[in-house]
Amino acid sequence: CLTTLCKKCQNIPQCKYKEKRVWVTYKEGVYDITDFIVEHPGGEQILLAAGSSVEPFWMLYAVHNNSHVLHLLENLRIGNLSKDESQDLTSDMSDPYNSDPLRHTALKAAAVKPFNAETPPFILVEQFITPNELFYVRNHLPVPHIDPETFELEVEIEGRNKSVILTLDELKKLPKHTITATIMCAGNRRSEMTKIKAVKGLSWGAAAVGNATWTGVRLRDVLKKVGVDEDDKSLKHVQFEGMDFDPTGKTYGASIPLWKALDKRGDVILAYEMNGVPIPPDHGFPIRVIVPGVVGARNVKWLGRVIVSEKESDSHWQQNDYKGFSPSTDWDTVDFTKSPAIQELPVISAICKPLDGQTVQVEDGTILVKGRIRRSCGPRTKLSTSVGYAWSGGGQKIIRVDVTTDGGNTWHVANLDHQDSSEPPQHWSWTLWSVRVPIKPGTTNVEIWAKAVDSCYNTQPENFKNIWNLRGVMKTLLTGSTMDSSM
Ligand code: HEM
Ligand code: MTE
Ligand code: MO
């Protein structure tokens, strides 16, 4: 029936969908999605498929490749296409991900189209610098192919008639600047938060993070070239546009406050090298902005345009994603205009060895250090080592990591094994740590918690319950890792 109104529309007089029903197809099925539009987690984008097949869009957003989505869809079925019709609708769809780069098989994929994958955790804490091939990848769209010979970066001040265009060679002629910085996705450790209560998003483990050296030019120098006046208080944000785009031509985008870009100590760079080689295709070739201390989402890859503006980026990822909310806010009550976009991330730590549920051999007189068993001539206490990383946003440094195996009654101060010497608020890299924790003889099950403290003396909350948020961002609690030790 084309006249029934959905429950939500009856309460919203201005709802624009109440006039007519909207249908889509999937394989041979026809589905009335009218009532579902307002509930769709991906928002009004669903209307792109109105009157046609959802399949080309689902190739882009592989989040739909699960039984939950198909089950949902089944409830909306109103009929079927004849065989000929269904062929017409699906025949000439080419997969936009066909030309994505080849990836290292060790990367653990949370989704394939778009490609999202993390480093195996035990490898992550092996090295202070994460190798390019194993660095986590978080793409929202297909990887764009950019010819470095014809590449041009557009930089402009909105509404001021001021702009410059820079080729890759021109950019490389500006003073070179190298920083070592950790990039972390706001969704890092989402799978642990999900255990408390379901959240929406990719199920990341604890390895959607990595540390690399980045070489490029200071954004500050480029902004000066275009004539940005540091004292012009009306300019507040720098917007970035990637060259990856969705089926409507919309590009990935984000913005940061202008002060961060202009501050010499902000170290924001337009990077063309990652760990000493040209930035790999998955990480933004040929140019990517590195905004150290700030959430991964603002570190725009495949950078094509930089716009200095009075306003933040109006992209989906700046406005309707990557924001935090109260644990009691749900998808019915959430109002994305009420929370600021995440920039600097709070302090975090994670235990990567042993992993949750992993069985560890603790032998008399032997110590497990960084995955290797070493003979010890020391006291005959049973010891084991857990190894992890800790990091804080805003250029803060990790000053301490405390570890407990008895629910917080006694704490062991971890050894900060790898940490660079830069001072806060310019300490952009993570800290790798380890600790030897005594295990009482006869213990078979141990829960290990770690909490990091940063140079502002901020520390991590004790459980997920109190920081739970519907999008599953910023999981900064004490890291719990259960270890079975067989003796
Ligand atoms: C997410 C259902 C069509 C774009 C989702 C999710 C569901 C869903 C259940 C959440 C999945 C999860 O987080 O596990 C549907 C159904 C559709 C449909 C039943 C058709 C009847 C579309 C179309 C587009 C689209 C046509 C794009 C043109 C998205 C995006 C997300 C999403 C971008 C991710 C949002 C996020 O980042 O959380 N959809 N969808 N969807 N959908 Fe759809
Ligand atoms: N830039 C573009 N153009 N497109 C994207 O999808 N993803 C962002 C950010 N920059 C993204 C992007 C997100 S959410 C993160 S966490 C980081 O890139 C991931 O960087 P990496 O893939 O190099 O690890
Ligand atoms: Mo991210």
* 3-state SS track over the chain: CCCCCCHHHHHCCCCCCCCCCCEEEECCEEEECHHHHHHCCCHHHHHHHCCCECHHHHHHCHHHCCHHHHHHHHCCEEEECCHHHHHHHHCCCCCCCCCCCCCCCCCEEEECCCCEEECCHHHHCCCCCCCHHHCCEECCCCCCCCCCCCCEEEEEECCCCEEEEEEHHHHHCCCEEEEEEEEECCCCCHHHHHCCCCCCCCCCCCCCEEEEEEEEEEHHHHHHHCCCCCCCCCCCEEEEEEEEECCCCCEEEEEEEHHHHHCHHHCCEEEEEECCEECCHHHCCCCEEECCCECHHHCCCCEEEEEEECCCCCCHHHHCCCECCCCCCCCCCCCHHHCCECCECCCEEEEEECCCCEEEECCCCEEEECCEEEECCCCCCCEEEEEEEEECCCCCCEEEEEEECCCCCCCEECEEEECCCCCCCCCCCCEEEEEEEECCCCCCEEEEEEEEEECCCCECCCCCCCCCCCCCCCCCCCEEEEEEEEC
Residues 321 and 375 in one domain: no
> Which residues share a beta bridge with 471?
none
Q: Are residues 407 and 476 in the same domain?
A: yes
* Model confidence at 14: pLDDT above 60: no
Annotation says 322 is catalytic: yes
Asked, for residue 343, whether it belongs to a domain, the answer is no
One domain, residues 115 and 240? yes
* 218/410: higher pLDDT: 218
Highest mean pLDDT among 34-38, 41-45, 286-290, 479-483: 286-290
Q: How confident is the model at residue 19 (pLDDT cuts 50, 70, 90)?
A: low
Cβ contact 317:255 at 8 Å: no
| Burial class of 445 by CB neighbour count within 10 A (0 to 12, 13 to 18, 19+) | exposed
- Around ligand 1, the residues with Cβ closer than 6 Å are 24, 31, 33, 40-42, 45-46, 48-49, 54, 57, 61, 63-64, 69, 72-73, 200-201
CA-nearest residue, atom 9 of ligand 1: 69
User: Does residue 2 belong to any structural domain of this protein?
Assistant: no
Residues 318 and 357 in one domain: no
Is residue 237 part of the annotated active site? The answer reads no
Give me the CATH number covering residue 373.
2.60.40.650
Final residue before a domain boundary, out of 90, 122, 146: 90
Are 307 and 354 in contact by the 8 Å Cβ rule? The answer is: no
Query: Does position 365 have pLDDT exceeding 70, yes or no?
Result: no
What is the structure's pLDDT at 177?
Answer: 98
Residue from 6, 9, 185, 352 carrying the catalytic annotation = 185
- One domain for residues 265 and 366: no
CA angle 350, 356, 361 (to 5 degrees): 110
Residue of the CA atom closest to atom 12 of ligand 2: 300
Q: In the chain, how many domains are there?
A: 3
Domain assignment present for 98? no
Q: What whole-number distance in Å separates Cα of residue 445 and Cα of residue 261?
A: 48
Residues 293 and 151 in one domain: yes
Q: Write the CB contacts of 4 (distance below 8 Å, at least 6 apart in sequence).
A: none
Q: Give percent above pLDDT 70 in the chain.
A: 83
d(CA 49, CA 246): 13
> Is residue 99 domain-resident?
no
- Do residues 115 and 144 both lie within one domain? yes
Distance of CA 141 to the CA centre of its chain: 14
- Mean pLDDT across the chain: 83
Query: pLDDT grade, residue 368 (50/70/90)?
Result: very low
| Burial profile 205-221: b = 16 or more Cβ within 10 angstroms, e = fewer | bbbbbbbbebbbbbbbe
Q: How far apart are CA 370 and CA 435, in angstroms?
A: 10
Residue 396 lies in a domain: yes
* pLDDT greater than 70 at residue 205: yes
- Residue 486 pLDDT: 34
40 is catalytic: yes
Q: How far is the CA of 295 from the centre of ligand 2 (A)?
A: 10
Which atom number of ligand 1 is nearest to the Cα of residue 24? 21
Angle ∠(270,223,307) on CA atoms, nearest 5: 80
Is 389 catalytic? The answer is no
CATH of the domain at 281: 3.90.420.10
Say yes or no to pLDDT of 10 above 70: no
Centroid of ligand 2 to alpha carbon of 309 (angstroms): 22
Domain boundary pick from 291, 313, 338: 338
Q: Which of 298, 322, 400, 427 is catalytic?
A: 322
CA–CA distance, 155 with 172 (Å, rounded to integer): 15
pLDDT in tens, 208-239: 999 999 999 999 999 999 999 999 999 999 99
Give residue 194's pLDDT band: very low, low, confident or very high (50, 70, 90): confident
Domain limits at 263?
108-338
d(CA 209, CA 121): 10
Distance 57 CA to ligand 1 centre (A): 9
Task: Name residue, tokens 């250090």.
Answer: 369
Query: Shortest CA distance to 437 belongs to which of 429, 428, 446?
Result: 446
Q: Residue 474: is its pLDDT beyond 70?
A: no
Instruction: Report yes or no on 100 lying in a domain.
Output: no
Task: Give the residue with greater pLDDT, 385 vs 307.
Answer: 307
Give the Å distance between the CA of 155 and the centre of ligand 2.
20
Confidence category of residue 86, pLDDT binned at 50, 70, 90? very low
CATH code where residue 41 lies: 3.10.120.10
Mean pLDDT lowest among 67-76, 137-146, 371-380, 455-464: 371-380
Average pLDDT over residues 378-395: 68
Q: What's residue 352's pLDDT?
A: 85
The closest ligand to the CA of 75 turns out to be: 1
Q: Which residues neighbour 109 within 8 Å (Cβ) at sequence distance 6 or greater?
A: 115, 116, 117
* Backbone conformation region of residue 474, classed left if phi is above 0, alpha if psi is from -120 to 50, else beta: left
Is the same domain home to 282 and 383? no
Distance, in Å, from the CA atom of 188 to the CA atom of 193, rounded to the nearest integer, reads 10
Q: Please report whether residue 244 resides in a domain.
A: yes
Is 286:292 a contact under the CB 8 Å cutoff? no
pLDDT at 224: 96
Q: How do 77-80 and 108-111 pair as beta strands?
A: unpaired
- Examine residue 124 and state whether it is found in any structural domain, yes or no: yes
Domain boundary among 281, 308, 338: 338
Site of tokens 């290797």: 372
Q: What was the pLDDT predicted at 2?
A: 30
Is the pLDDT at 367 greater than 80? The verdict is no
Distance 427 CA to ligand 3 centre (A): 21
Within this chain, do residues 328 and 429 fall inside the same structural domain, yes or no? no
Residues 171 and 229 in one domain: yes
Residues 230 and 316 in one domain: yes
In this structure, the answer to whether residues 142 and 265 fall within a common structural domain is yes
Which residues have CB under 6 Å of ligand 2?
Answer: 135-141, 183, 185, 242, 244, 252, 282-283, 296-297, 299-302
The pLDDT of 295-309, averaged and rounded, is 98
